[in-house]
Structure 1
Amino acid sequence: MVTPIQPKTERLLLRQWRDSDREPFSAMNSDPRVMEFFPALLSRAESDAGIDRQIAHIEKYGWGFWALERLEDQQFMGFVGIKHVTDDMPFAPAVEIGWRLAAPYWGKGYATEAANAALRVGFEQLGLDAIVSFTVPGNFRSRAVMEKLGLQQCDNFSRPGLPQGHPMQEHVLYRIQRRM
């Protein structure tokens, strides 16, 4: 196991997951507003399995999709981070940046602030050449965050694992290159 990186901003801490995150993460993943652009709401077991995957990634690499905590009150807000994409993605191997915040934290700049910290880890600490992000075309809130971060739309692709014709099958791919 490597020593985990835990980025911090003026308002936020990107940290390893805790057992106390499981309940609010599950509540977030069963909120139709939060999961609007995902194939389905997640059960508690599916949410817990997601946390377990993130913990394993962070333990292996020292970084990943971190739990997001607001410093002023130590409130769990969701997740933000960078991680390896699965091998079935058409642009693999790659590192993606992603986020999912509970609805009460939307529109306050938290996703952009935390994602900027994650990009700094990727480029400055890890020396990555590029980072990608992706979503369905209609997810304008996430696409706006990608554009604020400096990612540029570069391609569309069909998301593996979804049946042909599924409304969430088409995705837009964004990419940012390390600035030399």
Structure 2
Amino acid sequence: MSHEPLTLQGPRIRLRPWREEDRAAFAAMNADAEVMRYFASPLDRAGSDGFMDRINAHQAEHGFSFWAIERHAEPGAIGLCGLARVPWEERFTPAVEIGWRLATAHQRQGYAEEAARITLAHGFGPLELPEIVAFTVADNLRSWGLMERLGMKRDGGFEHPRLPEGHPKRPHMLYRLTRRDWIDARLGGG
């Protein structure tokens, strides 16, 4: 079943489907060592194109995926944010994760939080997901700090199965947010 991708609007940004003309900016972001410092390694152009192809395939299959983040004031993809089914087995799967990534020039400006809040509202609203998870390495303070600001609760950790034993980035922290807790926080003004 094919699902047409949506565009979601926020105060300063929109989350929109990826376009072919986004591939160069996407590849530049994915090749940036600073952007990718908490991942196993930066991606070369082929790896970045493959990632975008997987994003588009996930969208077609599930009706959601990672969107391109674009500012209203200046068109062009500056990052990604969205939802994806976790494609491997772990104690918390099956699960849908929220993820974000921004080009260096657009970090520390609140775009990731705005995009994540739009994404959670879509995931818990129209998609009616029962829970959304997030995970990162312990050193990524800004990312797990955002997870906490979003109302996500830490649930221990796990060893990322796609990284080899002994890899320094294999240990990950897990965060979770249920639809019920998200609704309660919104009703309570949280």
Give TM-score, length-normalised by structure 2: 0.91
Residue 73 of structure 1 and its aligned partner are, at CA, apart by: 1.0
- 1:120 is matched with which residue? 121
Residue 24 of structure 1 and its aligned partner are, at CA, apart by: 0.8
**1:71-82, aligned counterparts within 5 Å?**
71-82=72-83
Q: How many residues align?
A: 180
Gaps of 5+ in 2: 184-190
**1:65, 1:79 within 8 Å by CA — same for their partners in 2?**
yes
- 1:129 is matched with which residue? 130
- 2:159 is matched with which residue? 158
SS in 1 for 2:8: coil
**2:82, 2:119 within 8 Å by CA — same for their partners in 1?**
yes
Residue 90 of structure 1 and its aligned partner are, at CA, apart by: 3.5
**1:16, 1:58 within 8 Å by CA — same for their partners in 2?**
no
Structure 1: which 4+ aligned runs deviate by more than 6 Å?
Answer: none
CA distance in structure 1 between the partners assigned to 2:51 and 2:90 by the alignment:
18
Task: Report the residue type matching 1:100 in the other structure.
Answer: R
Which stretch shows the higher mean deviation, 109-118 or 3-12?
3-12
Task: Report the residue type matching 1:2 in the other structure.
Answer: H
**1:102-121, aligned counterparts within 5 Å?**
102-121=103-122
SS in 1 for 2:134: strand
**1:20-99, aligned counterparts within 5 Å?**
20-99=21-100
- 1:141 is matched with which residue? 142
| Residues 72-129 of structure 1 deviation map (CA, whole Å, 9 limit, x = unaligned) | 1112111000111113343210000000000111111100001101001110111111
**1:4, 1:61 within 8 Å by CA — same for their partners in 2?**
no
SS in 2 for 1:125: coil
CA distance in structure 2 between the partners assigned to 1:72 and 1:60 by the alignment:
32
Identity of aligned residues (%): 45
Report the aligned-residue RMSD.
Answer: 1.1
Give TM-score, length-normalised by structure 1: 0.96
CA distance in structure 2 between the partners assigned to 1:163 and 1:177 by the alignment:
30
Residue 13 of structure 1 and its aligned partner are, at CA, apart by: 1.1
SS in 2 for 1:63: coil
Task: Report the residue type matching 2:35 in the other structure.
Answer: V
